[in-house]
Every structure is written in C-alpha cells, then in structure tokens.
Amino acid sequence: MLKGNASMPWLAKDIMNLRREFVHLALQDGVNRRELFRRYEISPKIGYKWLTRFRLLGDAGLVDQSRCPQRSPQRTENCIEAAVIGLRREHPAWGGRKLHRRLVDLGYMDIPAPSTITDILHRHHLIAEDPRRTAHRRRFEHDEPNALWQIDFKGYFDTAGGRCHPLTALDDHSRFNLILTACARQNTETVQAAMTSAFQRYGLPVRINADNGAPWGSCSQAEHGITQLTVWLIRIGVLVSHSRPAHPETNGKEERFHRSLKAEVLNGRSFTDLNHVQTALDQWRTVYNHERPHEALNLATPITRYRPSVRSLPDTLPPIEYGPDDVVAEVGWDGKVRLAGRKLKVSNALHRLPIAFRPVAAVDGLYDVYFCHQRFTQVDLREPQLPA
C-alpha cells in the first residue's frame, strides 16, 4: 500500500517515488482508477486523497509532513547559473537542452536558452569538447502506450558480491521504464518474476519484443523461437516478437536506454552486491521516468506519455482453444507432432500442449502453425519430407 505498511514490498524510502508514480498515472486520460487502486494496493479513499493533495500542492502534497519552499520567485542571474551548475553536477550526462527543460519543470523564471546553458557548462569546465554529432535517424514509435514493450538484459558487470545482469524493459510509445532490476542470472525464472511484477503493476502489453537469445528466444531454427518463457507470455495473451539476428537496432530504444544507464549510473562506480546496485537503479529510475527530459519526446518526461494497460494479468492461465477448421495436434515429448503422416519438429517447450495447423486459403497442403493466438511458423506439405 502507498502508506507503506507491512504488506507492501516497497521499502519506506521508496514510498515517495511510488506515490508520485501513482498520481501521474492516475491523472492520465482514460485511466481506470479503480483498477489502478487495486494494482497499487490502496483503497479508493487513500488514492483520491493523494490525488487531491497532488493537485493542490504538487509533489509537496505527497509527503507526510510539510516542506519548506525549495525556491523563491525572485532569483538573480547568479542564482540561475548556480542552479545550472548544481543540476549538471547532479546529472553529469545531461546537456543544455535537458537542463533547460528540467529548470522549466522546476519552476525557475528567466532561464537562459539551452545554448547559453551550454556556454555556462563550458565556462565552468563541466562539459567536454566533442565535435561529433549523432547522425539523423528516422524514429518510429507506436501510437499508444503498451502497444509494444521492448525488453533486454544490459551487458553484465562484476560487483564485489558477484556478477550483475541488469534487466530492463521500456514502453515503445512513451519510453517509460517498466523494469529495471539487478539480476544474478539470466534465466526463465528471473525474467518471469520481473515480468510478473511489471504486469501486476502496469497491466499487459499487446506485444513484447526481445532478442533471439535465451530465455525469451532460441537460436535454433528448429525451435522457432519458442521457449518456456514465450509459451507463458503467449498463454497470458501477449504477442512475442524477436529482433532480427545481428540487428540490435530492432530494439533500438532499449539500446539507447542502456547507453544512458551506463553513462548516468554505472560508469566509474563500484558496487558491493546486487542490493547496492538495485538501490542505485531505483534512484535513477525515478529521475529517468519523472525528471529527465527526453529529447525523443520533445523534452517531455516519459511519465507524461505513459498510462497503464487496461488488460490485467490473469489469475490463472486461460484454456487453449482453436477454430473449427484448424487441425489440432498435441506436441510430443521430443517437441514433434504428426500431420498427414509426417513427423514435424516444432519446439520442446510445447511438450504436451496443443497447437493448430490452419489451412492457408486456396493453397492445398500449406498450413500456418499457431500456438494459441500466435503464428510461429508455416508448413508446406507439397515439399519433399526431410529426415526427422
């Protein structure tokens, strides 16, 4: 609960961040607030209390006792320059445009142009000369939040207590970070636990895109990218797609997020263990989602463009059903099925589960192969049968 009682898995130091995330999501257009109260484990009375206080006082209304004003409406140029320097030292990877937008969001008046802020940084030796410019790329994004989530592990690094594999997930439309977890392993159990927590809080996306490696993909063509994890995702109603091999730009927003994570959190730091890493990740996640202006969003913050999904994680796996014209077969222990006298390899992860061969209209012997709602391969019985 947002009050921070014993049933809530969040630590007391996270309560402010949790309340802030809740009110921003609850104020998005079209959000089902009753469902949001359930996901955040609070009563409607408490939820509306925080919304009312936030409307009246902003972030100050979310704390349990009053705070003194952090700024004065009357500021001199020296104070503005000091604010620029302080914000830059707090966020060493931010440039003039991000700093300018953040100062606007904080309510400062008479803020200099981004180019002037850049000059201030140069004057105080807080920015390095770099003649390189990022090549212009055409950006694509989905029209609505939760149409697509991108997920991936960032490259591992060592802590004093063992190896850390940061797991991250972003909403494609808003760039809102949904998962930022310090993991000891890159396995199905770890990823499924992190995804379950995200689904319980934010609901289900239409589609998730990942790379072709374990645990969400299989490099073996015979397995068709179907793993234990993707079987679970498909069964709860999520479409799964994979990046093209050797093309990391397919998950480009994740790649860009990882560069920011490295520059703003990980570079030059040492960590004692996973808990130490997680503390740093949690602090930065709040900055990234709520404070850090995002250039791809016209310097808006991700929280302003995100709203939770209306589709909730089901309590139990729904039954697997197919259409009357489908040819349904159960996958054997070796990941194979029989169709028209042929033994065909699909995936070991589908053992003892039914799949459907759906005839392609006007093409005799050609079938699309489905598991639940997802088409994952095609079979052409007109081709010669290869040895099993």
Instruction: Give phi and psi for 151, each to the nearest 5.
Output: -135, 145
Statement to judge: residues 84 and 34 lie in one domain:
no
**Is residue 30 in a domain?**
yes
Q: What is the pLDDT of residues 308-341, one digit of tens each?
A: 999 999 999 999 999 999 999 999 989 999 998 8
Statement to judge: residues 24 and 81 lie in one domain:
no
Range 90-109 burial, b when 16+ CB lie within 10 A, else e: ebeebebbbbbbbbeeeebe
Answer with the one of 281, 308, 340 that is the final residue of a domain.
Answer: 281
Distance in angstroms (rounded) separating the CA atoms of residues 180 and 177:
7
**Is residue 256 in a domain?**
yes
* pLDDT of residue 130 exceeding 60: no
Statement to judge: residues 350 and 264 lie in one domain:
no
Which region among 29-33, 68-72, 363-367 has the lowest average model confidence (pLDDT)?
A: 68-72
Count of other CB atoms within 10 angstroms of residue 277: 22
Statement to judge: residues 159 and 261 lie in one domain:
yes
Answer with the one of 281, 300, 335 that is the final residue of a domain.
Answer: 281
Statement to judge: residues 239 and 199 lie in one domain:
yes
Q: What is the pLDDT of residues 290-299, one digit of tens each?
A: 999 988 888 8
Domains in the chain: how many in total?
A: 4
Tell me the pLDDT band of 13, cut-offs 50, 70 and 90: low
Query: Residue 81 sits in which domain range?
Result: 77-123
Statement to judge: residues 191 and 246 lie in one domain:
yes
**Is residue 277 in a domain?**
yes
Number of helical (H) and strand (E) elements in the chain, helices listed first: 10, 12
Statement to judge: residues 85 and 52 lie in one domain:
no
**Is residue 197 in a domain?**
yes
Q: What is the pLDDT of residues 199-252, one digit of tens each?
A: 999 999 999 999 877 887 765 555 678 999 999 999 999 999 988 765 555 678
Statement to judge: residues 157 and 205 lie in one domain:
yes
For residue 267, the domain's CATH number is: 3.30.420.10
**Is residue 201 in a domain?**
yes
* pLDDT of residue 28 exceeding 60: yes
* pLDDT of residue 3 exceeding 50: no
Answer with the one of 281, 314, 337 that is the final residue of a domain.
Answer: 281
Distance in angstroms (rounded) separating the CA atoms of residues 102 and 86:
12
**Is residue 308 in a domain?**
no
Distance in angstroms (rounded) separating the CA atoms of residues 78 and 80:
5
Tell me the pLDDT band of 190, cut-offs 50, 70 and 90: very high
Statement to judge: residues 54 and 93 lie in one domain:
no
Query: What letter does residue 294 receive in the DSSP assignment?
Result: B
Please tell me the pTM assigned to this model.
Answer: 0.76
Instruction: Look at residue 306 and give its three-state secondary structure.
Output: coil
The residues facing 168 across adjacent strands are 152, 180
Residues listed for the chain: 388
**Is residue 2 in a domain?**
no
**Is residue 20 in a domain?**
yes
Statement to judge: residues 252 and 367 lie in one domain:
no
Statement to judge: residues 161 and 274 lie in one domain:
yes
Statement to judge: residues 223 and 181 lie in one domain:
yes
For residue 90, the domain's CATH number is: 1.10.10
